[in-house]
Amino acid sequence: NAGVTQTPKFQVLKTGQSMTLQCAQDMNHEYMSWYRQDPGMGLRLIHYSVGAGITDQGEVPNGYNVSRSTTEDFPLRLLSAAPSQTSVYFCASSWDFNTGELFFGEGSRLTVL
Amino acid sequence: AQKVTQAQTEISVVEKEDVTLDCVYETRDTTYYLFWYKQPPSGELVFLIRRNSFDEQNEISGRYSWNFQKSTSSFNFTITASQVVDSAVYFCALSEARSGNQFYFGTGTSLTVIP
């Protein structure tokens, strides 16, 4: 009964380093998305996917890449980390694009020095 | 413009008091969905309720109740007889049928229940 699994939970990077946040869900949800949470700003959508092979940008996509090769996995890549990307990242999935509730992972806290 | 506004940044109440968290939304769609999520201190996000734009009936679930009023574009959340375990950040969210694929979250209201 895993739901949405995110790894790692914590990561410290130096400016310019790259990394991938992993997200996997076992509920056969077509819709997956990545959010970042910053103090006083709520949750902001980075990228989303409505199915394998289909991705699109959200509100704050700059500096991030995604791919969706399988229904289960939706990794988020930071190609060259910047201090402005210090945040808590949440992966979420849903059975429906806009009527279904989002199921969230536990979050990944990223610090870029 | 912010599609979902939660004007209350922080609220503190004493245990057993009732508290209402406000949510005002903005949309031109006739079909849309409203949500509330809870984020306790442990950090995970927990779904509480979904309401579609065609159903203005208020809903009650235990100590929780929700008041949806299209006339004022509000979807307020009331906790009755608050408990310490209710201490969390609460987010209101909106999704629009026409735009699809995007949930718009408010900035959250941090509720502290003092024992």
Chosen for mutation from A101, A104, A108 (greatest number of chain B CBs closer than 10 Å) is: A101
- In this prediction, residue B82 has a pLDDT band, given cuts at 50, 70 and 90, of very high
- Whole-angstrom CA distances from B80 to A75, B1, B14 are 40, 32, 12
Chain A CB within 8 Å of residue B7 CB: no
DSSP secondary structure string, A2-56?
Answer: --EEEE-SEEEE-TT--EEEEEEESS--SEEEEEEEETTTEEEEEEEEEETTEEE
**Residues B86, B115: Cα–Cα separation, whole Å:** 11
- Give the distance from residue B87's alpha carbon to the nearest chain A alpha carbon, in angstroms: 17
Q: Over 80: is that where the pLDDT of B97 sits?
A: no
* Cα dihedral A108→B1→B5→B11 (10° resolution): 70
Q: Residue A99 has what pLDDT?
A: 73
Instruction: Give the C-alpha separation, A110 to B8, whole Å.
Output: 27
Strand partners, A5: A24
Q: How confident is the model at residue A100 (pLDDT cuts 50, 70, 90)?
A: confident
Binary contact (A99, B95; C-beta < 8 A): yes
Comparing B94 with A99, the larger pLDDT belongs to B94
Q: What is the mean pLDDT of chain A?
A: 94
Using a CB-CB cut-off of 8 Å, the residues of chain A touching B47 are: 101-103
SS3 B111: strand
How far apart CA A78 and CA A64 sit, in angstroms, is: 5
Left (φ > 0), alpha (ψ -120 to 50) or beta: where does A69 sit?
alpha
How far is B25 from B4, CA to CA, in rounded Å? 4
| pLDDT at site A39 | 87
- Return the structure tokens found at B104: 């718009």
Q: Percent of chain B, pLDDT > 90?
A: 78
